[in-house]
Amino acid sequence: MGGEPFEFNGNVANTKLVTNLPDNACVEVPVWASKKGLSPVHVGDLPPSCAMLTGLTSQTEEMAVEGALTGNARLIYQAIAHDPLTASVLSLAESKQMTEEMFEKNRAYLPQFDRVLV
């Protein structure tokens, strides 16, 4: 709206800002806010160890989105099972049980999943 330019970290679509992550994935990068609007800053490649984990997270999120849009409960379960944090604390059987319980508790809000077969 005016005033001095301000830099902050913001979540934006990856338009080649982080070059070793998928295009259009949500990435957090420095953003300049000024009278001209918001301008995300090109970051380039993340270090390989960061890109590996961030890439996996991006892929599991894409899997979950596809599952939600298509009503495929198995994709939701697979995304949950592949999540590094979930996998570090739950077995596959526990992840499956948690996913089934989530669907059961939220059945009224998830009409695209008419039959849940995880």
Give residue 117's pLDDT: 64
**Cα separation values, 15 from 31, 50, 71, 80, 100, Å:** 13, 19, 28, 26, 36
The sheet carrying 37-40 orders its strands as 6-13, 26-34, 37-40
For the chain, the average pLDDT equals 91
What are the boundaries of each domain within the chain?
Answer: 6-40, 48-109
Under the banding of pLDDT at 50, 70 and 90, the label for residue 111 is: confident
> What percent of the chain is helix, strand and coil (3-state, nearest 5)?
45, 20, 35
Short-list 8, 90, 24, CA closest to 58: 24
Under the banding of pLDDT at 50, 70 and 90, the label for residue 1 is: low
Give residue 113's pLDDT: 85
pTM listed for this prediction: 0.75
